[in-house]
Structure 1
Amino acid sequence: MTPRLFDLSSTWHLPATPEEVWAIIADVNMSWPNWWPDCSFAAPLVRTEPESNSQEDILKATTSYLNFKAVLGYTLTISIHPTMVVTPKEIEFDAGGHLEGNGKVTLSPEAHGSATRMDIEWRIRPTQRWMNVLTPIAARAFTAAHTLMMRRGETGLRRALAEGTAKQPK
């Protein structure tokens, strides 16, 4: 059985400049678990020697291992490894673990640059047997759980932006 490909997309509208959003989402120490309620570290960051000390090269030399807890009760462990970084506009990444594929985050200014549209795209396949067996009947539930998890992430990022920074590590 070939695992189903999921094309998932989300758009977040954030009340901050692209540079302010970028400072949090592209933090080289991966602050997502500090502001995203359903996200936690599954393992320490793995970093190879970057080509330079630039944020772009440090990000491309980093792999994050994150747990995402779905409202349906399961947790997915996903590795995220940036493959292309254009500050402060775009990050493309490979994903592995319980979901394999790739993704992309794109920031676009809105409201004359005082707000940001963040488009998030995932093209992934589940690797867990139970998900692949249930996908024919549960794909809509999996997609709905993803949508809710992303909305909670948007709310957490809005909160972090309002505070002016990501909170200290959990």
Structure 2
Amino acid sequence: MKARLFDFSSTWQLPASPEEVWAVIADTDMSWPQWWPHCTFAAPLERTETTSKAPEETLKATTAHLNFKAFLGYTLTITIHPTKVTSPQEIEFDAGGDLQGMGRVTLVPQEQGKTTRMDIEWRVRPTQRWMDVLTPVAAPAFKAAHALMMRQGEKGLEQALANKRIRKPA
């Protein structure tokens, strides 16, 4: 029996231009654990060699192993490997580890480029047997845990963007 496919989508409204948002979410050092609560590195970044030093190529050569601690008490280790990078508007990635599938982040300028709508899509299946067994009854709790984790990420990113603006020279 194949594990249930989860389609998660989130929309974040961010008080910064797409270029400013991109600089934080698509940095080649994967700084997410610095601003996303309950997100930590599960292992060092893996990077294959590239023929170019372009940031887009560096991102596609990078695999991040991240732990996300859910409010329900469990931790998911997710591997993210970008497969398509279109700066500063879209990243598609393969997901592995405890959730297998794909994801996409799209940045859409709002208010003449002063703010950004960030659309996040995940199409994943759990690989942990306990999640697969509990999904028929726990799917609403898993969805709620995902929504809370994403809200924490949105708040953390808003704070990171605000801090960058404060440090920006006048």
- Tell me which interval the TM-score lies in, with the shorter structure as reference length: over 0.9
- Give the match for residue 50 of structure 2: 50
Gapped runs of 5+ residues in structure 1? Answer: 166-170
TM-score by length of 2: 0.96
2-structure distance, mates of 1:144, 1:46: 31
2-structure distance, mates of 1:113, 1:127: 39
What amino acid sits opposite 1:24 in the alignment?
A: V
| Secondary structure of the structure 1 residue equivalent to 2:73 | coil
2-structure distance, mates of 1:153, 1:21: 13
TM-score by length of 1: 0.96
Number of residues paired by the alignment? 165
- Give the match for residue 84 of structure 2: 84
The CA deviation at 1:50 is 1.5
Gapped runs of 5+ residues in structure 2? Answer: 166-170
| Secondary structure of the structure 1 residue equivalent to 2:154 | helix
The answer to whether 1:63 aligns with 2:57 is no
Mapping of 1:124-139 within 5 angstroms? 124-139=124-139
| Secondary structure of the structure 2 residue equivalent to 1:16 | coil
What amino acid sits opposite 2:155 in the alignment?
A: T
What CA RMSD, in Å, does the superposition of the two structures yield over aligned residues? Answer: 0.7
**Which 4+ runs in 1 deviate beyond 3 A?**
none
- Give the match for residue 28 of structure 1: 28
1-structure distance, mates of 2:50, 2:91: 16
2-structure distance, mates of 1:24, 1:133: 37
| Secondary structure of the structure 1 residue equivalent to 2:52 | coil
Identical aligned residues as a percent: 70
**Deviation per residue, 1:80-100 (Å, 9 max, x gap):** 000000000000000000000
| Secondary structure of the structure 2 residue equivalent to 1:28 | coil
1-structure distance, mates of 2:84, 2:52: 15
1-structure distance, mates of 2:86, 2:53: 15
What amino acid sits opposite 2:86 in the alignment?
A: V
The CA deviation at 1:51 is 2.7
**Deviation per residue, 1:66-108 (Å, 9 max, x gap):** 0000000000000000000000000000000000000000000
What amino acid sits opposite 1:140 in the alignment?
A: P
The CA deviation at 1:112 is 1.0
Mapping of 1:1-170 within 5 angstroms? 1-164=1-164
